[in-house]
Structure 1
Amino acid sequence: MSDQENWLTEKLHDHYAQSLRTDEMLYDSKTKHQRLKVFQNGTFGRILTLDDVVQTTEGDNFIYHEMLTHVPILAHGATKRVLIVGGGDGGMARAALDHKTVEHVTMVEIDAGVVEFSKEYLPMLSRGAFDDPRLNLVIADGADFMRDTDGGFDVIIIDSTDPIGPGEVLFTDHFYGHAKKALAPGGILVTQNGVPFMQGDELTGTMRAFQSLFADATCYLATIPTYAGGPMALGWGTDSDARQVPLEVLEARFAEAGIETNYYTPAVHKGAFALPPYVSRLIP
């Protein structure tokens, strides 16, 4: 195999691409929904791609998972029921279940194949989450589940793929409206909204929907190396004042949780909501 063939090039954007060296291909199979690959990389460890778009890596997944779970859970302050849409690798569920005060996590994943091979090839992401009795794994379409659920969730995390293929429906106004109804009073909805420097329309569309639904609608940022093109925007919607929780309160909650992190701190939490102008201009 030539050196050129040892590289996977992600072509998510029209005028920009990143390449990752495939030191060893560990898994390559097409399900009815998408093509799954897991390969070894010298910098990032094991990498999962769907249709050659990076979803998560052994090396830097902690940033994404910590910021989409710890920020809303600690801001809320009394989170007991969490809903995750997507997240078939189990990393998001594991991060949510790290909070001992969380009593129940429902995880809705459209593709059972992602879950099964993640258990085998990416166990370091879920770290036993699939065996936690607090986890209810539902194999279903996230949009259908959100429409039909009885709700009552304190935190809802949309850990979706980009708005193409199976993930496209998770970025619609109807979906966000159903998510709002599924929240308990004071609940928080967070979403992945891509890299705003490269995918600004995605953030603008979500924020327009959020502003029609929530009293507090904005985004916060996290820098994940393999989500290339700048920091990633994470959408935030709630009718509560959870975003205004003082730093010292977050520090007390974080200390009480006793969670070891590699990216999240209460200070990072607060600072993540400080947006540079090129991002804030994308919010209607």
Structure 2
Amino acid sequence: MERWVEETLHNGFRVRLKADEVLFDSQTDHQQLIIFENGDFGRVMMLDGVVQLSTRDEFVYHEMMAHVPLFAHAEAKDVLIVGGGDGGVLREVLRHPDAERATLCEIDRSVIDLCRAHFPEISQGAYDDARTRIVIADGTKFVAETDDRFDAILVDSTDPIGPGAVLFTEAFYTSCRRALKPGGVLVTQNGLPFLQGPELAESVGYFRKLFKDAFAYLATTPSYFGGSMSYGWASDDATLRQQTSGTIARRYEAAGAFPTRYWNPDLQVAAFALPNYIRDLVEK
């Protein structure tokens, strides 16, 4: 009998994906996790009824979460990833030769273990890189208590349900502000503005209280159903998001011009050009 897996994130909108083969379906210590094969999206992982990644389009989200802030900063040596247990953002961070240490703080060890087993092409050995430090902990507690300081903090979280909800609070963002080095940058996963506009508006509102520059940028990942995905942006250095494509291109060449499938210097600049309905959310 055919099995279809339903995404349940939105109140008035449902999407079902055909599970050609279920590889894992169980409750971890923190959340419901299912991994299955789908003819259109490849291998898919869902947490608590929400698509987290698919092997067909994961490069979009992971490249944009990592390369936009790191090429904007240009000298990020210490990078913190909160969440991101699949290893995709970690993989992209480690492509940057300036990155001397990448700390991955994941609350659910099961996510890392299962992704190592079922999605090795996502991490591509990043977990075992000498520059990687893996911390199994609540991200809010880690950021609030750590004595480390970071050039970039990338919050690769689930949506604000279940264990990810605390990663969308003013208290957490305040802790991130404390843990950033001067001139550092904070980037967050902030959902689909068309369907989750208040989430983006609230986060950027908190950023505006804490940082001199607060904004957002966009990318479109097909398996995140409902429009463009927004990434929250916060820094005390407003010039970071105002670099020209020529400057970004020179930094990319200096980094080795490693291959990308979505990100490029022109797209980096264009990602900050927001449609009016999204601009209204981040500027109100």
How does the TM-score come out when normalised to structure 2?
A: 0.97
Aligned partners of 1:60 and 1:224 also within 8 Å: yes
Letter in 1 for 2:58: N
Residue number among 220, 224, 229 corresponding to 1:223 in the alignment: 220
Shift of 1:101: 1.5
Measured on the aligned residues, the alpha-carbon RMSD in Å equals 0.8
Residue 46 of structure 1: aligned partner? 43
Letter in 2 for 1:170: L
Residue number among 80, 84, 94 corresponding to 2:81 in the alignment: 84
In the alignment, does 2:190 pair up with 1:193? Answer: yes
Letter in 2 for 1:115: I
Matched length: 281
Partner Cα separation in structure 1 for residue 258 and residue 176 of structure 2: 28
Shift of 1:151: 3.3
Partner Cα separation in structure 1 for residue 252 and residue 28 of structure 2: 40
Partner Cα separation in structure 2 for residue 281 and residue 151 of structure 1: 35
Q: What does the per-residue CA deviation read over 1:195-235, in whole Å, with 9 as the maximum and x for residues that have no partner?
A: 01000110011011000111110000000111111001100
Match of 1:261, SS state, is coil
Aligned partners of 1:54 and 1:227 also within 8 Å: yes
Shift of 1:7: 1.3
Shift of 1:42: 1.0
Residue 251 of structure 2: aligned partner? 253
Q: Which moved more, 1:80-89 or 1:255-264?
A: 255-264
Structure 1 gap segments, 5+ residues each:
none
Partner Cα separation in structure 1 for residue 254 and residue 266 of structure 2: 16
The ranges of structure 1 where at least 4 consecutive aligned residues each deviate by more than 2 angstroms after the TM superposition are none
Aligned partners of 1:151 and 1:184 also within 8 Å: no
Residue number among 243, 251, 270 corresponding to 2:241 in the alignment: 243
Structure 2 gap segments, 5+ residues each:
none
Residue number among 96, 101, 104 corresponding to 1:99 in the alignment: 96
Partner Cα separation in structure 2 for residue 56 and residue 23 of structure 1: 16
Letter in 1 for 2:242: Q
Residue 168 of structure 1: aligned partner? 165
Q: What does the per-residue CA deviation read over 1:125-161, in whole Å, with 9 as the maximum and x for residues that have no partner?
A: 0000011010000000000001001232011000010
In the alignment, does 2:66 pair up with 1:66? Answer: no
Which residues of 2 match residues 100-119 of structure 1 at below 5 A? 100-119=97-116
Match of 2:17, SS state, is strand
Q: What does the per-residue CA deviation read over 1:8-28, in whole Å, with 9 as the maximum and x for residues that have no partner?
A: 110110111111111110111
Letter in 1 for 2:24: Y
Partner Cα separation in structure 1 for residue 18 and residue 167 of structure 2: 31
Partner Cα separation in structure 2 for residue 80 and residue 178 of structure 1: 20
Percent sequence identity is 49
Partner Cα separation in structure 2 for residue 266 and residue 216 of structure 1: 21
